[in-house]
Amino acid sequence: MPENATLLPELAIAAQRGVRYIAGIDEVGRGALAGPVSIGVVVLDLTHPTFADTPRSTGVCAQLDGVRDSKLLTAAARKRWHPTICDHVAAYSVQHRHPREIDTLGINGALRAAGLAGLNAVEVQLGVALDAVILDGAHDWLTHGASPRVQTMIKADIKALSVACASVLAKVERDRLMERLAAEHPGYGWDSNRGYGSQGHRTALTELGVTPQHRLSWNLGV
C-alpha cells in the first residue's frame, strides 16, 4: 500500500533556504473532455505547532497523517480530509479555468493562469509573500523558470504533504462542481466520470451532442 505523504520534502527545502511559508500546487482535470481544469494551492506555515512539532526523522505530521494524493484516496476519504486540511494549513485556494478559457489559452495556459491566480489568492490571505513553491512534475509550467522560489519535484503529489493536500482540495471542489454541472446537463454521467472520456460520456456525445461545458478545441470524437 502506498505510504502517506510527509513533510520531508518541505523540511528539506526549509533546511536549504530557511523558509517559513511553503506552498504546494497540484492540478485536477487536465485530461477531461468537459468541465474545468482546477488548481489547488495549499500553504504550510512551518513555524506553526502542527508542523514545527513534526519529527524531522520521519516527517509524519500527526494531524494530517493519512493524507495522500487524491487519486490514492476514496471519494469518502477525500471528503473527510477536506475540512481537516483547511483547518490546519495557513492558506489555501482552488482556482478553476473553464472550457472556453481552455480553448482560448490552451491547457498549459489555463493551468498557468489558474496557478498564478491561486498563488495571488493565498498571498492575499497571508498578507506576505510565499518563501517557496513545490510543483508536481519535472517542468515548471507556472513561471517557466522565472521564479527561483519554484521547485519542481517528480511525484510531489505522492511525496510532499503540501502538494497532496492541494490535490485533495482541488479534487473535492472540482468533483462538487461536476456534480452540479451533471444536474444541468443530464445524460453525460459527469457525476461519475467527472467529465473524462469514459465510454458512456463518448456515447452521450454522439447521441446528445456537445454542450457549453465541453472543450471544443479537443478531439471530442463528434
Share of residues in the chain with pLDDT > 70 (%)? 99
The mean pLDDT of 61-77, rounded to a whole number, is 96
Mean pLDDT of 164-180: 98
Which cell numbers hold the place of 113? 493562469
The per-residue pLDDT of the chain, averaged, comes to 96
Is pLDDT above 50 for 29? yes
Residue 1 pLDDT > 90 = no
pLDDT at 210: 98
pLDDT (average), residues 132-156: 95
Higher pLDDT, 17 or 8: 8
Longest Cα–Cα distance in the chain: 57
Average pLDDT over residues 1-10: 84
Q: Give the alpha-carbon dihedral of 176, 159, 32, 80, to 10 degrees.
A: -20
pLDDT in tens, 81-122: 999 999 999 999 999 999 999 999 999 999 999 999 999 999
The pLDDT value given to residue 187: 98
pLDDT at 3: 79
What pTM, to 2 d.p., does this model score? 0.96
For residue 92, give the 3-state DSSP assignment.
strand
- Rounded Cα distance, 222 and 208, in Å: 10
pLDDT of residue 2: 53
**Residues with Cβ within 8 Å of residue 150, at least 6 apart in sequence:** 132, 133, 135, 140, 142, 143
Residue 17, pLDDT > 90, answer no
